[in-house]
Structure 1
Amino acid sequence: MIVRISLIISLAASLYLFSELFDASEERDNNIRAAAVYFVEPPVLSTEPILAEKEWYALLAAREAKNVKAAEPEEPKPKNQKTLTFDGVEFTLLGIFKNREGGFVLLKSSGSEVLKVAAGDAITENVALKAITVDSMTVLVSNKEHSIRLFKRVNEDSNG
């Protein structure tokens, strides 16, 4: 007898729950249809960009300007190389070298031309290399000697 009563109660509870489930789905469908009915498209869309769009376009333009600037090839001068100017032409000192014949200097012009200049050779029409030492070179500019010191020592007293 108890089994029959519990079976009847279980069936009644199940029917109640299933009826609530179907009622809820019908109500949900009615709400969706009602929401679709009440949507009204605005009569005229604004052609002026909103604040977020203005900021977006400004950032996009800044990024494109940065990319264009970065795309331009620039040949930076190395910080550890000395730049010399003779007759309005800039030369970058690449180094002092020695071979069997003697010492020579490698200079790179602003036009990316590398010159190998030994003592007595002309760098330009008015400029010639007279002598090369370990830490300096002597240049003749219009028959006037100019000594260019290549390496300078830092005063040891100032370092502490």
Structure 2
Amino acid sequence: MTLPFAIIAGLTVGSAIAAMSLRNLVHCALSLVLTFAGLAGLYLQLNAEFVGFTQILVYVGAVSILIVFAILLTRGTEPANEPATVSPWAGIPVAALAFAAMAVSVLGSPVGQRKAAPMGEASVKTLGQKLMTDFVLPLEVMALLLTAAMLGAVIIAMREKESK
């Protein structure tokens, strides 16, 4: 493990913990942005350029801005501070059970019995060629599905605007 990788990994884990533990929602969202950026840095360190830059564009850019807008637009509708009906420690048994289930499944899985697949050339050019040759039909189906979803969202938004 190299020093830059360790620094980025530590920063990513630290910002993820901060995103879960901070009380201010805006600070949580900013910590989440830092977590997404750290993951992109880890992908770039692992020579997965396409995944790293996609992480930056989609998560750091779009999803993080969407989360911040949602927080800022819904801030006035928060209920009054009411005492919690459940203890904050009530989730610990559930988390321990989930951790135990994952540990059993990981430790019980056969490790090293199968050989790894041969590693091919992993570049954006190779990915593009595969998408446009071998996987062109699933790519077009996804494009059609996303276009239909966008049209549906526009139609629903227009109906709501007309009814007001």
Same fold (TM over 0.5): no
Greater strand content: 1
Greater helix content: 2
Larger relative CO (CA 8 A, sep 6+): 1 or 2?
Answer: 2
What TM-score, normalized to structure 2?
0.19
Larger radius of gyration: 1
What TM-score, normalized to structure 1?
0.19
